Structure 1
Amino acid sequence: MVKLYKNGAYLLNGSDLIEENEEAAGKLEERFGGQIIDKKEAKKGTMAYRILEEHNTSGNMDKLKIKFDKLTSHDITFVGIIQTARASGLEEFPVPYVLTNCHNSLCAVGGTINEDDHMFGLSCAKKYGGVYVPPHQAVIHQFAREMLAGSGKMILGSDSHTRYGALGTMAVGEGGPEIVKQLLDKTYDINMPDVVGVYLTGKPQKGVGPQDVALAIIGAVFANGYVNNKVMEFIGDGIENLSVDFRIGVDVMTTETTCLSSIWATDEKVQEFYDIHRRSDEYKKLEPSSVAYYDGIIYVDLAAVKPMIAMPFHPSNVYTIEELNANLMDILEDVEKKALISLDNSNVKYSLRDKVKNGRFYVEQGVIAGCAGGGFENICDAADILRGKYIGSDEFSLSVYPASQPIFMELVKNGRIADLMATGATVRSAFCGPCFGAGDVPANNGFSIRHTTRNFPNREGSKITSGQVASVALMDARSIAATAANKGYLTAATELDVEFTGPTYFYDSSIYENRVYNGVGKADKSVEIKFGPNITDWPQMSELTEHLVLKVASVIHDPVTTTDELIPSGETSSYRSNPLGLAEFTLSRKDPQYVGRAKAIQVAEKARLAGEDIYKDNKELEEVFASINKKFEVNPEKTEIGSLIYAVKPGDGSAREQAASCQKVLGGLANIAKEYATKRYRSNLINWGMLPFLLKDEITFELGDYIFIKDVRKAVAEKDSVIKAYVVGAELKEFELQLGELTDDERSIILSGCLINYYRG
């Protein structure tokens, strides 16, 4: 099904792979008549290299400074981004910037605050020259596919699933501050990433969908980090056997591999997609050069892929549905054991084996939605499977969310919506909520199967702090529909004999033409920005001092810590325009005492900045400085006091900058980790002036300990590779930290205290 090459490989003429080994040189010389193939030159033969080269402004392909063609954000992120950019000197959007409203669209929590954010976005689109997509019109990534993507172009989005590679667009999902840099006409600075080829061959069997292929790949590469922070380049003869919708469904899930971006070879089917959407000029044929070198190869036999299921609590926890049904009790018991790591809370009891009824696994809910599941073909195929059947009147329910109004309207016209509704399914408007816990929250102990992007703990909306637990398994829309046809009993789509009708898609552009505000090139500085009462400015942040005293406010030993665990999604997203309000939810489902601990130590820092007694409300801090001064002469006035979080591998998942900014506004000044799960989370820390420390050795400190870091400002400025730190007790216990590679700009941002301070000068 999926094979990983141990080494890199050469691709010849788009079809022949030669793995790099002792025999490779001879094979290459034989193919090219004795000509020696230079590996460095062959690396330039990838599509990714050429696109990056066209967008690089540094003149050095090892150290890239990228300018993107277009930008996009949604209503969980664009308020904070624009507020940061405004505070940093924003005058006008320099490139097309699209503000979609697909996350807080329900306007169901917190009174007016969600719609207030929308009105803020519309007024900013008018003032600064952007595009505003009203709620329920499209999820962010479907609008980008329909209206933004272009072959050979690059798009930066403040959502981790910013992936348009199937359309020939290299897209990157990053935290908000990276969008801010582009808005201020700065660059996205990275080292040249490795490029891993994804060689697709064969044709999927009937009933297998894009989520099945995606989950098979994720299961093969996530745990071993095979594509971490690399570009996935899709090649091979199997591409021609996939529709564009199918390719898009695979592509959007590449985020769950932790890759940096993706790109696909394009063909006449992609050209037809652009033609249908009345943007024919955006198509360009992309393919690797006659010789291209890849730093790894993921070889996928599409014909061997079976319907898959990603069990809780990660998209990489994959099984075939056939395997799960054949070994139900054993696999469910194993999933329950793994869940204990993620659900480290004695208030909840998590069980799955009790869902086995008469030897079959029963689920309570099915959802087909968002940027992954809400595509035209997914929904049409689901309707074909369900036509003439009923989902029943028991616990099982099914909801379907088309990814955009144009898709929804065509499904109405061709009758598929009526087919679905007749089964008992409900059909909703374009909305991302089921993907992050703001819609279709299951009942306690409920099990939901979803064609969405993630199934992290509590991402479906349950709260373990309130004694609730529910969970999500990821599946393809076709197998979800097959399960619905069997009234909630887990069923692979390949088990049913279905005639897939494959109706033609007709796109109606009038919906966007008449409803979406397009202010590109029409910035009107006279427009007053509309501020709701929940929209507040970022609090003032201090530059890095000579030394640091940090209290360990949370210690997380889980193998991976997700962004959702650092700052929960769901209804908390309504408060993302209020930095201090949102910060109250930091780690609330993982470590509910964190906020109190962080705020307690922040009192001393506020006193220091005000020139007041730092020991007044914290007598143990007096003992800490006394212990430090036994060995070093340290002036408390030049020593910032704050908190830190230790996690083994933090930052998997969402690009939300709030995972870092919420720590910062509570006085968080650093993270210590064995490694960072994603480049984007580490970048978020840096852009909020936090130190992304790495610890190679085992931790020598505990929750509640104080860490002293002497001459930290000097160490950052002078690029010290190792920074000495001390656990403060009766004596100081020394250990070593590292910061990893930082650009000069990143060091300056940390020294300034945050990106806003850096650009203010």
Structure 2
Amino acid sequence: MIRLYDGGVYLIHGTDIVPEEEAGRVEQLTGKKACKEEARKGTIAYSILEKHNTASDMKHLKIKFDAMASHDITFVGIIQTAKASGMDTFPLPYVLTNCHNSLCAVGGTINEDDHVFGLSAAKKYGGIFVPPHVAVIHQYMREKMAGCGKMIIGSDSHTRYGALGTIAVGEGGGELVKQLLCDTYDVAYPGVVGVYLTGSPNPGVGPHDIAIAIVGAVFKNGYVKNKVMEFVGPGVASMDTDYRNSVDVMTTETTCLSSVWRTDEDTKAYLAQHGRSEDYQELNPADTAYYDGMIFIDLSTIKPMIALPMHPSNAFTIDELNANLYDILHDAEVSINERMSNKDLRYSMTDKIIDGKLHVQQGVIAGCAGGNYCNVMAAAHILKNASCGNSEFSLDVYPSSQPVYMDLVRKGAVSTLLEAGAIFKTAFCGPCFGAGDTPANNAFSIRHTTRNFPNREGSKPGSGQFSAVALMDARSIASTAVNGGILTSAEAYADDYAIPPYDYDNKSYEARVYQGFGKADKEKQLVYGPNIKDWPAMEPLADHILLKVCAKIMDPVTTTDELIPSGETSSYRSNPLGLAEFTLSRRDPEYVGRAKAIDKAERARMNGQCPAEKDEGLRSVFAALKKKFSDADMKTTEIGSMIYCIKPGDGSAREQAASCQRVLGGLANICKEYATKRYRSNVINWGMLPFQMKADPDFEIGDYIYVPDIRKALNGDMQDIKAYIVGDTIREIPLYIADMTEDEKSIVKAGCLINFNRSR
């Protein structure tokens, strides 16, 4: 059972939930009258945020983090940006992992060049470098960096270490650059939602089952959007820390800002085992704590789950799916095909039903969610003395780190999986974002990974190839393998198996990880490969802007994977212009050409030429503007591209979802709402205007929108910004911009974060 409380609640003594409308009960339980503002300070989150806040009040936080983390499709751009902004050393521990471009299988030496650059940067600036295949980013941070009461920022959306008492935030690269420049992470004090756990998981129920159930309950209604999820209650103790980590990492898919859990003796034992006893402290809410919402979960009622394509919130129990197989799969199939940009391409799910059962072609257990010790051990137990079969179904397993791999070998789990026909690989994030194990065309894959967004598994619908992924726990994936690829709940094979205690061995890290924090050698040179390019110059915001609508996407949500594809594009992450060629390629393949055309006109304008001389459309636009605005002048009007989405930015933190638009001449996004804070932050840090509008868009691709006096508008309250669609007639549309800090306004005026920092 999962219950969402309608409003705020008080948690008394960590066990009694009192809805706000029954606040009188607080005095009965504590002897003191309820005081909401004081009780807000009783959450675990408040104490951690207060400790890291450098501002004079707690309403508008200015956070400095304890550590940072990036992987090899983000750290090159971050370091290049910070270097261009004046950084000469890493002022806090900065971990550079190489878990995304690990394979070096695409693009000649491109990927390995990024790794060499990363190591040279760690030596020059004083960083921590984790080579390919040694650990996925989040497992390394759990094992070596996270601790009770800390805060960590990472350039990956799944930066979540709440089960270790750390508030961790996944953000775009610009926010990490600010930390490297000793600036702060500025955010309004977030709401805090309690997650009260009671009971304990049944045999066969794993952490992904709990996570998918939570995401299914809160994503679509926005219950925890941009808030901190705080896990409390007696049910926390029913799971060991490794299991909690696997639940915690999936909180990203709720669109919350971060997460944190109460800590206990098991947390203490985990940190001690990893040689970091000093990082433990007991974290519990105060005797009276106020939460802006409460999610009540009886863990004993959670069943094995499946999240069907194309989102982790598309959640069903496996029993429910199997009982209504055709109807549910048909609805999913229709939904998938409605989103397909290539309308000649059709994906089928109902054809996977044979003799009334769903047949799956592939299983994957991997990464920061699935590759943890407890998940792989549970899967190996189910597959002991069994076989995956020699037909279509295949099973690949990726451990989360070399220490985990070593213990799985010592415990016999690896040989058990190999004997069953599974393929055991190394620590690698590829199956989670489309750079490994891409299924066959029209195939269906089940994965204990973090996401199943469109094309997240590596499909190329523009080339006529499409497959899809459902999320499941490792236990049910193993059960499906035992059953020859027929979708099977782990309850069919559940028993009283107790996972043996994990034995951590640090030797692989001692052998290979470069520990350079505090050892910067400024004489060292950065090592560049031919594909590592500097950011192109970007101009400051003009007094007036003219936006050409270059994409209009009316899907309910647009993911960052649709804005800039993952997977095969990874080799170009260090090449801004090269990567930009892939912008919206899976959703609107004509976008890049449109954006380039208008950017060409702007570059001509900047060079003192008159683009209207060669562009009849621009000539007629400015002729029309002159009739209404006597001061409309091409010399003072910046021209650029714009995209409209209803709700853009769900998913990855990677800044390239915004920077690729910017290097193509993008000036703005317009939307009804931004799916995540991190995507909006990326838009701002790359100098684009984060417009919003309440009405449906009354414009189409190819239309022009004129926004006069935009710099002046940024100095006001930004709640009623006049804009005009320019055509045969000029129609006004009301835009607005939600709150921005003064620095954020200055960044947009400067044209991007790099320009802003240089000007300082």
| TM-score clears 0.5 | yes
Does the aligned pair in 1 maintain the 2:666–2:688 contact within 8 Å? yes
Does the aligned pair in 2 maintain the 1:45–1:291 contact within 8 Å? yes
Residues 1:455 and 2:452 aligned together: yes
Residues 1:672 and 2:670 aligned together: yes
Does the aligned pair in 1 maintain the 2:134–2:401 contact within 8 Å? yes
Distance 2:592 2:552 in 1: 13
Give secondary structure in 2 for the equivalent of 1:3: strand
Of 544, 548, 560, 1:547 maps to 544
Distance 2:613 2:219 in 1: 49
Residues 1:496 and 2:493 aligned together: yes
Could you say which residue in structure 2 is the equivalent of 1:14? 14
Distance 1:518 1:443 in 2: 41
One-letter amino acid of the counterpart of residue 684, structure 1: N
Could you say which residue in structure 2 is the equivalent of 1:580? 577
Instruction: Map 1:537-616; keep pairs closer than 5 Å.
Output: 537-616=534-613
Residues 1:145 and 2:107 aligned together: no
Residues 1:369 and 2:366 aligned together: yes
Which stretch has the larger CA shift, 1-10 or 334-343?
Answer: 334-343
Over residues 617-663 of structure 1, what are the superposed CA-to-partner deviations in whole Å (9 max), with x where a residue is unaligned? Answer: 42211111111111112121111110000000000000010000000
Could you say which residue in structure 1 is the equivalent of 2:721? 723
Does the aligned pair in 2 maintain the 1:717–1:751 contact within 8 Å? no
Give secondary structure in 2 for the equivalent of 1:181: helix
**What is the Cα deviation at residue 728 of structure 1?**
0.4
Does the aligned pair in 1 maintain the 2:203–2:496 contact within 8 Å? no
Does the aligned pair in 2 maintain the 1:384–1:501 contact within 8 Å? no
User: TM-score under structure 1 normalisation?
Assistant: 0.99
Does the aligned pair in 1 maintain the 2:253–2:312 contact within 8 Å? yes
Give secondary structure in 2 for the equivalent of 1:124: helix
Of 305, 314, 318, 1:317 maps to 314
One-letter amino acid of the counterpart of residue 658, structure 2: A
Could you say which residue in structure 2 is the equivalent of 1:391? 388
Residues 1:629 and 2:618 aligned together: no
Distance 1:383 1:122 in 2: 36
Distance 1:499 1:486 in 2: 20
One-letter amino acid of the counterpart of residue 12, structure 1: I
Residues 1:443 and 2:440 aligned together: yes
Of 319, 325, 338, 1:328 maps to 325
Over residues 680-724 of structure 1, what are the superposed CA-to-partner deviations in whole Å (9 max), with x where a residue is unaligned? Answer: 000000000000100011211111100111111111133432110
One-letter amino acid of the counterpart of residue 566, structure 2: S
Does the aligned pair in 2 maintain the 1:347–1:465 contact within 8 Å? no
Distance 1:499 1:108 in 2: 42
Does the aligned pair in 2 maintain the 1:110–1:574 contact within 8 Å? yes
Could you say which residue in structure 2 is the equivalent of 1:687? 685
Distance 1:9 1:219 in 2: 22
Of 292, 303, 306, 2:303 maps to 306
**What is the Cα deviation at residue 26 of structure 1?**
2.2
Could you say which residue in structure 2 is the equivalent of 1:661? 659
Of 741, 755, 758, 1:743 maps to 741
Of 133, 136, 139, 2:133 maps to 136
Does the aligned pair in 2 maintain the 1:156–1:173 contact within 8 Å? yes
Of 251, 274, 279, 1:277 maps to 274
Distance 1:694 1:544 in 2: 18
Distance 1:341 1:403 in 2: 35
Give secondary structure in 2 for the equivalent of 1:132: strand
Could you say which residue in structure 1 is the equivalent of 2:59? 62
Over residues 147-180 of structure 1, what are the superposed CA-to-partner deviations in whole Å (9 max), with x where a residue is unaligned? Answer: 0101000000000000000000000000000000
**What is the Cα deviation at residue 345 of structure 1?**
2.4
Residues 1:239 and 2:236 aligned together: yes
Residues 1:619 and 2:627 aligned together: no
One-letter amino acid of the counterpart of residue 639, structure 2: I
Distance 2:341 2:287 in 1: 52
Could you say which residue in structure 2 is the equivalent of 1:644? 642
**What is the Cα deviation at residue 501 of structure 1?**
4.1
Give secondary structure in 1 for the equivalent of 2:168: strand
Over residues 336-394 of structure 1, what are the superposed CA-to-partner deviations in whole Å (9 max), with x where a residue is unaligned? Answer: 12213322421211111111111110000000000000000100000000000010111
RMSD of aligned Cα (Å): 0.8
One-letter amino acid of the counterpart of residue 257, structure 2: L
Over residues 721-742 of structure 1, what are the superposed CA-to-partner deviations in whole Å (9 max), with x where a residue is unaligned? Answer: 2110000012211111001111
For structure 2, the 5+ residue unaligned runs are none
One-letter amino acid of the counterpart of residue 505, structure 1: Y
Distance 2:398 2:498 in 1: 20
Over residues 174-219 of structure 1, what are the superposed CA-to-partner deviations in whole Å (9 max), with x where a residue is unaligned? Answer: 0000000000000000000000000000011100000000000000
Could you say which residue in structure 2 is the equivalent of 1:758? 756
Give secondary structure in 1 for the equivalent of 2:247: helix
Over residues 428-452 of structure 1, what are the superposed CA-to-partner deviations in whole Å (9 max), with x where a residue is unaligned? Answer: 0000000000000000001000000
Does the aligned pair in 1 maintain the 2:203–2:494 contact within 8 Å? no
Instruction: Map 1:55-94; keep pairs closer than 5 Å.
Output: 55-94=52-91
Over residues 443-500 of structure 1, what are the superposed CA-to-partner deviations in whole Å (9 max), with x where a residue is unaligned? Answer: 0001000000000011100111011110000000000000000010000001114452
One-letter amino acid of the counterpart of residue 746, structure 1: E
Of 113, 119, 123, 1:122 maps to 119
One-letter amino acid of the counterpart of residue 211, structure 2: A
**What is the Cα deviation at residue 223 of structure 1?**
0.2
Residues 1:404 and 2:401 aligned together: yes
Distance 2:574 2:127 in 1: 19
Residues 1:485 and 2:485 aligned together: no
Identity of aligned residues (%): 63
One-letter amino acid of the counterpart of residue 553, structure 1: C
**What is the Cα deviation at residue 609 of structure 1?**
1.1
Distance 1:613 1:725 in 2: 23
Does the aligned pair in 2 maintain the 1:313–1:342 contact within 8 Å? no
Distance 2:353 2:729 in 1: 57
Residues 1:473 and 2:470 aligned together: yes
Give secondary structure in 2 for the equivalent of 1:615: helix
Distance 1:293 1:321 in 2: 36
Of 286, 290, 302, 1:289 maps to 286
- The number of residues matched between the two structures is 758
One-letter amino acid of the counterpart of residue 409, structure 2: V
Which stretch has the larger CA shift, 631-640 or 499-508?
Answer: 499-508
User: TM-score under structure 2 normalisation?
Assistant: 0.99
Does the aligned pair in 1 maintain the 2:110–2:529 contact within 8 Å? yes
Distance 2:620 2:544 in 1: 17
Does the aligned pair in 1 maintain the 2:24–2:33 contact within 8 Å? no
Distance 1:497 1:190 in 2: 45
**What is the Cα deviation at residue 18 of structure 1?**
0.6
Of 694, 702, 715, 1:704 maps to 702
Could you say which residue in structure 2 is the equivalent of 1:3? 3
Instruction: Map 1:420-431; keep pairs closer than 5 Å.
Output: 420-431=417-428
Distance 1:601 1:500 in 2: 63
Does the aligned pair in 1 maintain the 2:341–2:586 contact within 8 Å? no
Residues 1:155 and 2:125 aligned together: no
Distance 1:486 1:720 in 2: 59
Could you say which residue in structure 2 is the equivalent of 1:193? 190
Does the aligned pair in 2 maintain the 1:9–1:293 contact within 8 Å? yes
Does the aligned pair in 2 maintain the 1:341–1:558 contact within 8 Å? no
Distance 1:92 1:616 in 2: 49
Over residues 245-291 of structure 1, what are the superposed CA-to-partner deviations in whole Å (9 max), with x where a residue is unaligned? Answer: 11111100000000000000000000000111111111111000010
Distance 1:467 1:496 in 2: 38
Could you say which residue in structure 2 is the equivalent of 1:43? 40
One-letter amino acid of the counterpart of residue 95, structure 1: L
One-letter amino acid of the counterpart of residue 738, structure 2: G
One-letter amino acid of the counterpart of residue 77, structure 2: G
Does the aligned pair in 2 maintain the 1:347–1:464 contact within 8 Å? no
Does the aligned pair in 1 maintain the 2:613–2:619 contact within 8 Å? no
One-letter amino acid of the counterpart of residue 545, structure 2: L
